[in-house]
Chain A
Amino acid sequence: MILRKALRLPLVLVVVTFLSFLLLNLLPGDPALQILGGSATEEARAQLRAQLGLDDPLFARYASWLGGLLTGDLGTSYVTSIPVLDALADRLPVTLELLVAAELLALALAVPLAVAAARRAGGAIDQGLTTLSFGLLSTPVFVLGVVLILVFAVKLKALPATGWTDFSVDPYWNLLSVLLPAVTLAAGQLAVYSRLLRTDLIATLQEDYITLARARGLSPRRILWRHALRPSAISLITAIGLNMGALIGGTVIVETLFGLPGVGRLIVESIFARDYLTVQGGVVLISVGYVLVNFAVDLVYAAVDPRIRRA
C-alpha cells in the first residue's frame, strides 16, 4: 500500500502544481494587464507577457514554470517587489505554529473524550460528546472565532483579540496570541476526531481479543488505553491527514480574523492587492504541503499497525 502511494505521489504533485499554474489563465482579459494594473505601459506588459511566456504553448509554459518552482523561484511580486518565496518563508512559521497548536489541542481533548464515551456507549458522557461535537461541527470557524473574541477579548478582556507576538520576542505573549486562534481552529477537528475515534473504539470493543482481555481480569481503563486504542486509531490517523485540508482553509479565515501574519492572510491580502503571483505561490505552497502531509500520514500508519509494514 505504501509503495502504491509512493508511486502515486509524483503524479498527484504534478496535477496539483499544474492546477495551481492554470489559475493565472482564469484571469479575465489580458493577464498582463490584470497583473500590472491599468497604469502600466504597453512595453512593460509586453515584457511581462514574454516573461510569463504567455505567448508560448501551455505545456511549455508549465514546464518552465515548474523548473522555476523546483529551483525555488516563484517569481517576484509586481506589487511589493519582494520575491514570492521570501514573502512566503517569512509568513510560514506563524501558520505552522497555529496548525500544530490546533492539532495538538484537538487531539489532546478528543482522545480522552472518545475513550470515556466508548467505555459506556449511550451513557451520559457519550451523549454529551455527541451533542457537543454536533454543535461544534455546525459552527463555522468565523462564527466561533467572532464569538470567542466577543467573550474573551471584548467582554472579559482576558486575551488579546488580534495581533501576533513572535516566540523569539516574548514566549508568554506568543502563547497568548496563538491561544484563541488555535482554539477556534481546533474545535471542528475535535468534533471530527472524537466522533470517529469513539465509533472505531466501539467497534474494536466487540473483538474477541478484547473479550479475552476482559476474561484475563484486566481493568477497563487498561483495556481501553492499551488494547483498544491503537487498533482503533487507523481511521483517526487518516482523518488527521484528510482534515488538514479543512484546517488549512480554516487558517486563512482565522489568520484574517485574528490578524495573524501567516500565509493565509498573505494570500487574502494579495488577492485584494491584485498580487496574483504571490497568491499563486501561496496556493502552490499549501497544496504541495497538504499532499506531502498526507503522504507522511500514510507512513505513520505503518508505525501504528504492524500488519501494514509487510506490504
Chain B
Amino acid sequence: MPRRAALRRLGWGFWASAAWVVLLVLAAALADLLPLHPYDRTLAGPPQSGPSPAHPFGTDGLGRDMLSRVVYGARVSLGVGIGAVLLGLLIGAPFGLVAGYRGRLTDAVIMSVNDIALAFPALVFALAVVAFAGASMRNVLIVLGVLGVPAWTRLIRGATMAFAGREFVTAARALGARDRRILWREIVPNVALPASSYAFIGMAVAVVAEGGLAFLGLSVQPPTPTWGGLINEGRNIMETAPHVVLAPSLVLFVTVLAFNLVGDRLRALTDVREIGLEPGRRRAALPPLPAAEHDVEPALLQVADLRTHFETARGTVRAVDGVSFALNRGRTLAIVGESGSGKSMLIRSILGLLPAAGVRRGGKVYLEGREIGDLEPEDLREILGTRFAAVFQDPMTALNPVRTIGAQVMEPLRVHLKLTRAAARARAADLLASVGIPDPVRMLKRYPHQLSGGMRQRVTIAMALSCDPDVLFADEPTTALDVTVQDQVLRLIHRQREERDMAMVLVSHDLAVVAQWADEVIVMYGGKVVERGPAAALFEHTRMPYTEALLQAIPALSDPSHKRLRVIQGRPPDLAAPPAGCRFQPRCPYARERCASEEPPLVRAETRDHLYACWYPLGTEAAAAEEAEIIEGTESRGR
C-alpha cells in the first residue's frame, strides 16, 4: 500500500489520540520542569475548590492542586503501562517467533503451556501477588508484565505463522539462508505492524489494571499520587466536590481511549471491508444503470439488458454486462462459460442476491410479463419463495451446519405455504423420498455433516422444489460432486423439471452436460453474451470462436479422467479493464485488426433464434473471404 494512502486511512482520531499520548508522556517526563504546584503541598488553594485559573482542575480535600497531582499520577500510570508492555513483549516475542516459525512440536509445547497460562483470572492473581509481595511500582510492573506474556506469545506466533509460509520466506529458506537471518530480515519487520498495534492495546489494558490496583490501594503508596488512588480519594467527597473524582477519571478515560484508538487504527490498516445483509446506508445505494429499450414478451421468465457492476478499488468490474433472454415453461436454458465469465453472477443478479454494498445494477427481470424489480420486499420474497428456486454448486456450504435437515426442509413450507408443523413434517419426508433419499423420516433429524455430498445435494434439491417453483436456477449443481453421482443428480433434476413442468436455468462450464440436457444455450464471455441459440443450432453451426474453443475443450469420454480438463489458452479477461474491441480477441486464433478496435454486436445468424457476436464468424463467407485475402498477403499478419 502506498505510504501516503496508508497515513490518510488512519484518520483524524488516530492523530488526535497520538498527539494526546505524546503530550501526556512529555508532561509526565518533564513534570518537574513545568510551572506546577508541588503535588503534595497542602492548602495550595482553598480545599475542595472547583476549577479556576490558578487551579485548572481545582483542589482536593486538603487543598492540593489537582492538575499537579494528575500530571504526577501519569508517571505511575504510563510508567507501568509502557514498562509492562515492554516486559511482556520481551519475554513473549521470542517464544511466539520460535513457535510460529518452527511449528510442529516446538509450537505444540509452547502453545499448550501458553493455553494453561491463559486459563488464569489475571487480575485476581495480580492482586494477590501484589498483596503478598508488597505494593510497589516495581512489583506491579513485573506482575502486569508477566501476565501479559501469554497474549504476546499468541499474537506473535499467529503473525509469524502467517508470514513464515509466504513465498519470500520459503524462497529464502530454499536458498539456504540461516534461520536466525530469516527471522530477523524477513519475518520480524512483517510482524512489526500487528505487534505495534497490540502494544498500544496492551498499554491500555495495563493502565486500566494499574488503575484498578491503585484504586484498591495496592499500587504505589501515598504520598505519590496515582490516578486510581486519586479516584478512590475523590469518591469520599463526591457530594461536595465532584471535580476531585471527575478530573482524574476523565484524564484516565481519554488516555485509555487514545491507546485503544491508536492500536485499533493500526490494526485496521490490514482490514477488509465488511458487508451486511442489507445496504448500510440507504442513500449510499448506487443509482441503477439505464436499461436499453426492449419489448416485454409473453414468456414465463424474461431478462432484459441485465447489468451488474461492482465498484471496487481497482475500478468498475462489469461482472454482468447487458444480458437478455426469454424462457418458457418446460424448457432448459443452459448458461455456459469459464469461471469468471459472469454466469453465476447472472443467476444471483436475477434473484437479487447481490452483496449489499458497492453494486450498481441495471436492466429488468419479468415474471409472466410483470417486472419484479420494483416490487415491495415482501412481495419479492413471496416470488423468491414460491415461484423461483435455486440450487448452488457446493452442497457442503449450502446447508446450515447447525440446523437439522428437517428444520431446513420444513422452513419454506411453514413460511410460504403456512403449513402446520405436522403437515410440514409429512410433506418434507415426501419431498426427501421424491429426490431418492432413503429412510426420509430419520433423515429429518440429522445434521448436514452426517451426510455425503451427493445426499446433501439431494436435500438442497428437495428444499428448492418444496414450494412448487416455476423456474429452477441450478448453478453448477454437480461440479462439486463425485463423478459417479454427478449423472444421477442431473437425471434427478431433469426428471423433476419434466414432471413439474418447470423452466430451468442451468449454469455449467461443462459442455458435455449442456449438450445432453439443454434446449437453449447462452455462451457468456467476460460478462457478455457472445453466442445464443437453440442447442442443436449452436452446436452444429457454431459461429463464435470462443464457443468452438469450449467445444474443443470437451473431454472425450475415452480420455483417462485425470486428462479430462483441457483448457483454453490464455486467461479470462480482467473485468475491471476488459480488452478493447472483442473481449475474446487476445485469445482468439482468428483475431484480426478490427477485433482489437471495434466491439462486435450480437447479430442474428441465418438459423432461427441463433445470435452471435463476432466479426469473422466461423463457417461463413465473411471469414472465408478474409482468410483468402490473408493467405495472399501473408506479410500483413506481421509474424
Q: Does B353 contact A (CB under 8 A)?
A: yes
Complex Cα–Cα for A199 and B264 (A): 15
Chain B: interface size category: 35 or more
Q: Does A236 contact B (CB under 8 A)?
A: no
Say whether A120 contacts B277, CB under 8 Å. Answer: yes
Complex Cα–Cα for A137 and B386 (A): 46
For the complex with contacts A16-B119, A28-B133, A216-B390, 16 further pairs of A-B residues with Cβ separation under 8 Å are A120-B279, A139-B253, A146-B234, A154-B239, A207-B397, A209-B399, A212-B392, A214-B277, A215-B384, A215-B389, A226-B411, A231-B402, A248-B121, A267-B127, A267-B128, A290-B120
Q: Which of A140, A150, A208 contacts B238 (CB 8 A)?
A: A150
Question: What residue of chain A has the Cβ atom nearest to residue B13's Cβ?
Answer: A134
Q: Tell whether A134 pairs with B261 under 8 Å between CB atoms, given A121-B274, A217-B386.
A: yes
Task: Please tell me which stretch of A57-65, A75-83, A301-309 contacts chain B, meaning at least 4 of its Cβ atoms lie within 8 angstroms of it.
Answer: A301-309
What are 7 A-B contacts defined by CB distance under 8 Å? A140-B252, A202-B276, A216-B384, A216-B412, A217-B381, A279-B131, A279-B132
Say whether B238 contacts A231, CB under 8 Å. Answer: no
Q: Does B212 contact A (CB under 8 A)?
A: yes
Segment 187-232 of A: residues with Cβ below 8 Å from B: 199, 202, 205-220, 222-224, 226-227, 230-231
Nearest chain B CB to A200 CB, angstrom units? 11
Task: Please tell me which stretch of B30-38, B191-199, B213-221, B328-336 contacts chain A, meaning at least 4 of its Cβ atoms lie within 8 angstroms of it.
Answer: B213-221
Segment 236-285 of B: residues with Cβ below 8 Å from A: 238-239, 242, 245-246, 249, 252-253, 256-257, 260-261, 264, 274-281
Say whether B401 contacts A307, CB under 8 Å. Answer: yes
Binary flags per residue of B186-212, CB closer than 8 Å to A gives 1, else 0: 000000000000000000100010011
Say whether B260 contacts A137, CB under 8 Å. Answer: yes
Q: Tell whether A143 pairs with B231 under 8 Å between CB atoms, given A212-B460, A214-B384, A246-B123.
A: yes
Query: How many inter-chain contacts with C-beta < 8 Å in the A-B complex?
Result: 248
Q: Does B81 contact A (CB under 8 A)?
A: no
Q: Does A19 contact B (CB under 8 A)?
A: yes
Say whether B384 contacts A227, CB under 8 Å. Answer: no
Q: Tell whether A208 pairs with B394 under 8 Å between CB atoms, given A16-B120, A249-B122, A253-B216.
A: yes
Task: Please tell me which stretch of A38-46, A122-130, A166-174 contacts chain B, meaning at least 4 of its Cβ atoms lie within 8 angstroms of it.
Answer: A122-130
Chain A residues with Cβ below 8 Å from B463 are: 216
Question: What residue of chain B has the Cβ atom nearest to residue A305's Cβ?
Answer: B402
User: Number of A interface residues, CB 8 Å?
Assistant: 89
Interface core residue of B122, B131, B276 (most chain A CB under 10 Å) = B276
Chain A residues with Cβ below 8 Å from B125 are: 19, 283, 287
Nearest chain B CB to A234 CB, angstrom units? 9
Nearest chain B CB to A79 CB, angstrom units? 14
Say whether A119 contacts B129, CB under 8 Å. Answer: no
Q: Tell whether A134 pairs with B392 under 8 Å between CB atoms, given A119-B277, A286-B121.
A: no
Interface core residue of A20, A120, A250 (most chain B CB under 10 Å) = A120
Q: Does B116 contact A (CB under 8 A)?
A: yes
Complex Cα–Cα for A310 and B446 (A): 13
Q: Does B357 contact A (CB under 8 A)?
A: yes
Nearest chain B CB to A43 CB, angstrom units? 25
Q: Does B592 contact A (CB under 8 A)?
A: no
Q: Does A268 contact B (CB under 8 A)?
A: yes
Q: Which of B116, B356, B384 contacts A121 (CB 8 A)?
A: B356
Q: Tell whether A253 pairs with B212 under 8 Å between CB atoms, given A143-B253, A150-B245, A305-B401.
A: yes
Say whether B381 contacts A219, CB under 8 Å. Answer: yes
Say whether A24 contacts B132, CB under 8 Å. Answer: yes
Q: Tell whether A249 pairs with B245 under 8 Å between CB atoms, given A208-B394, A208-B397.
A: no
* A contact residues vs B (CB 8 Å cutoff): 8, 11-12, 15-16, 19-20, 23-24, 26-28, 117-124, 126, 134-135, 137-143, 146-147, 149-150, 154, 199, 202, 205-220, 222-224, 226-227, 230-231, 242, 244-246, 248-250, 252-253, 256-257, 267-268, 271-272, 276, 279-280, 283, 286-287, 290-291, 294, 304-307, 310
Say whether B231 contacts A146, CB under 8 Å. Answer: yes
Q: Does B228 contact A (CB under 8 A)?
A: yes
Say whether A122 contacts B211, CB under 8 Å. Answer: no
Nearest chain B CB to A178 CB, angstrom units? 20
Q: Which of A15, A214, A272, A286 contacts B116 (CB 8 A)?
A: A15
Q: Which of B116, B260, B356 contacts A120 (CB 8 A)?
A: B356
Nearest chain A CB to B248 CB, angstrom units? 9
Complex Cα–Cα for A286 and B120 (A): 9
Say whether A231 contacts B383, CB under 8 Å. Answer: no
Say whether B122 contacts A245, CB under 8 Å. Answer: yes
Nearest chain B CB to A175 CB, angstrom units? 24
Interface core residue of A20, A121, A218, A246 (most chain B CB under 10 Å) = A121
Nearest chain A CB to B9 CB, angstrom units? 15
Say whether A205 contacts B211, CB under 8 Å. Answer: no
Complex Cα–Cα for A137 and B380 (A): 41
Say whether B253 contacts A122, CB under 8 Å. Answer: no
Complex Cα–Cα for A209 and B120 (A): 38
Chain B residues with Cβ below 8 Å from A15 are: 116
Say whether B403 contacts A222, CB under 8 Å. Answer: no
Nearest chain A CB to B607 CB, angstrom units? 35
Complex Cα–Cα for A147 and B245 (A): 9
Say whether A123 contacts B276, CB under 8 Å. Answer: yes
Say whether A252 contacts B245, CB under 8 Å. Answer: no
Q: Which of B131, B231, B383 contacts A142 (CB 8 A)?
A: B231
Chain A residues with Cβ below 8 Å from B239 are: 154
Question: What residue of chain A has the Cβ atom nearest to residue B257's Cβ?
Answer: A138
Binary flags per residue of B218-233, CB closer than 8 Å to A gives 1, else 0: 1000000000100110
Q: Tell whether A248 pairs with B124 under 8 Å between CB atoms, given A138-B256, A140-B212.
A: yes
Nearest chain B CB to A237 CB, angstrom units? 12
Say whether A142 contacts B277, CB under 8 Å. Answer: no
Question: What residue of chain A has the Cβ atom nearest to residue B240's Cβ?
Answer: A154
Chain A residues with Cβ below 8 Å from B249 are: 143, 146-147
Say whether A231 contacts B252, CB under 8 Å. Answer: no
Nearest chain B CB to A54 CB, angstrom units? 15
Say whether A271 contacts B212, CB under 8 Å. Answer: no
Q: Does B398 contact A (CB under 8 A)?
A: yes
The 9 closest A-B pairs by CB, nearest first: A249-B123, A217-B385, A122-B280, A121-B276, A217-B384, A123-B280, A138-B257, A217-B381, A245-B121
Question: What residue of chain A has the Cβ atom nearest to residue B115's Cβ?
Answer: A8
Nearest chain B CB to A246 CB, angstrom units? 7
Q: Does B41 contact A (CB under 8 A)?
A: no
Say whether B353 contacts A215, CB under 8 Å. Answer: yes
Q: Which of B120, B228, B278 contacts A245 (CB 8 A)?
A: B120
Chain A residues with Cβ below 8 Å from B473 are: 215
Complex Cα–Cα for A230 and B401 (A): 10
Chain A residues with Cβ below 8 Å from B351 are: 215
Chain B residues with Cβ below 8 Å from A246 are: 122-123
Say whether B402 contacts A215, CB under 8 Å. Answer: no
Chain B residues with Cβ below 8 Å from A12 are: 116, 119
Q: Does B366 contact A (CB under 8 A)?
A: no
Chain A residues with Cβ below 8 Å from B208 are: 140
Complex Cα–Cα for A117 and B280 (A): 9
Question: What residue of chain A has the Cβ atom nearest to residue B391's Cβ?
Answer: A212
Question: What residue of chain B has the Cβ atom nearest to residue A206's Cβ?
Answer: B275
Segment 371-423 of B: residues with Cβ below 8 Å from A: 380-386, 388-390, 392, 394, 397-403, 411-412, 415-416
Question: What residue of chain B has the Cβ atom nearest to residue A115's Cβ?
Answer: B277
Complex Cα–Cα for A271 and B351 (A): 66
Say whether B119 contacts A231, CB under 8 Å. Answer: no
Q: Which of B115, B128, B403 contacts A283 (CB 8 A)?
A: B128
Q: Does B134 contact A (CB under 8 A)?
A: yes
Q: Tell whether A202 pairs with B275 under 8 Å between CB atoms, given A123-B280, A126-B280, A253-B212.
A: yes
Q: Which of B218, B242, B385 contacts A218 (CB 8 A)?
A: B385
Nearest chain A CB to B394 CB, angstrom units? 6
Chain B residues with Cβ below 8 Å from A291 are: 119
Nearest chain A CB to B355 CB, angstrom units? 8
Chain A residues with Cβ below 8 Å from B231 are: 142-143, 146
Say whether B276 contacts A218, CB under 8 Å. Answer: no
Chain B residues with Cβ below 8 Å from A26 are: 129, 132-133
Q: Which of A124, A135, A150 contacts B281 (CB 8 A)?
A: A124
